[in-house]
Structure 1
């Protein structure tokens, strides 16, 4: 059987003989009773221990029973207090109840009279505790409901945003796909027509346009598929220690012809002999994209500067700075969104997916990407990647 805890009752009376006798009687009825001879000693006992009930005499030297009940209730609001009095007047009862007592009993009394009073007080105390617990649970439920509603609202907003982004993505994608496809179909129809005269040179030009449009379309489709795979986490990354100087030199060689075509000078600052934790192929892809954008969207005889610097958390920052027209605040907010070319020169071929891919790839390699720009002052795009463990140790011991 489960043990039932005995109710603890504190009896306060300046008549020690009556206090002792009452304690003995109540112990016979399965109460755990203790006695005190003054209100002051009772408060000390209440400070040190926890009681369910307190039975106090009304008239005592020093602090009386009414004041004791007030002080006791401040220490333990759940304490059930009962006043013992020999007066037996309505005024006494009112004073006791106003002080916080749950009941009172008139002296002299027998156990048969006292036990129902104690039972009522305990029942009231239990009800108070149950109500307090219900109120606490209600407050918790209200808080949880508010938090759930907040999460639901956030989820709804995110879903609406995602749906809008999907619609915009599909709209832009269909437009970007139609452009090269229309070129392919248009020039193919010209070549296939019997009545439209065309010289051999014109046919070659048409064929070249078809090839260029086809290549652009293939690149666009590949980038869309690449972006979808990265966002779905289905692109395996071969994370390894990648030699930074070798990668930057490779990227420099690959973009030098493009820079010469646009009459843009390339400047690579000092490259530290460090290794980065990255997928080498993806890192080259990211750097080529940043360098190509810096070259294509630059001014005539512009400059592109590449710099490396230490970043927080044992990371390295690679920055690509151009002397182009720069970006305003609204453009910066949308720069990494798919198909967002930000009203740049439409003569420059591009899908608007490069920076979106760059961001996804860098984040997949546990890195960071960002941009700093002001209209008329050029732009700086940067990525931060973790240093390889052996490089970190070299930096720490340097």
Structure 2
């Protein structure tokens, strides 16, 4: 006899991507891409071990050298990076999995030591974030940014477009545009970080413009059915805040829905990695404005995930840190097996310990 939780283990589709189940692995920064921001062979093992997820969303990956904000995070702009990512996608596909790449530009959440010589972080406005980032010296305050000039924005959009093409060359099944967690596109969305007085600032229509233009460019480059977006309407991480997020994100989703055939929107509910109810927000109002697939994320367990899918509040549920210490998380959820504990000391940087040596059941 089937139970309500069985819905998590049924197939579905996100755009052109066929999923064996409704459990996604959320993107997880692990700071192990070195040297030259190139993923190592360990990453092929790591992602291959977790290929039973319906969808793997690979770790946030910078679209250009200026997009980097943390030590030893991978890129998707050099030939060596594309080649290395191809070994990872091959490993996932060999195990029957599907994987998309999260396209990332951190904007003001960066430090000058991580950027090309002479560069400072860029942002919608020259407002330093009350935040820290991970450098060779550990966690440090982010550097003061400069405002992107209007004439620089077309080249930025082209960086996203080319990164998407590179991801497909590297064998990914699609991409997720990172527009969440206080990074560059999210900075443009929010009036706490965007004080511009040009076509990209002021009104909600202007503040959602960069999101729309980037996602449109990516969808044009690789097809909308292989393009997704991540949003986090009320997270406070990385000094993200807006005076009225409900109408802002409703309009953002409406604009994304106008890109016909977009594969999915991936929404972090509440504070990223924290309180799901940190601020009142009507996520159903966003869901009602989008015709594509919907991934919900943050603090779900098996019961709440199944309830959300059964109720039609999501098509897929993304799990983050549980996938780090449980490479076979799908099977553990299916059989109600206990979850292995995470070692927080090995989350960021290092080698195989705490990365590929968490054992599966049995």
TM-score by length of 1: 0.19
For the pair shown, the structure with the greater C-alpha radius of gyration is 1
> Per chain length, whose mean CA-contact separation is higher, i.e. which structure has more relative contact order (CA < 8 Å, sep 6+)?
2
TM-score by length of 2: 0.21
Which has more helix, going by share of residues? 1
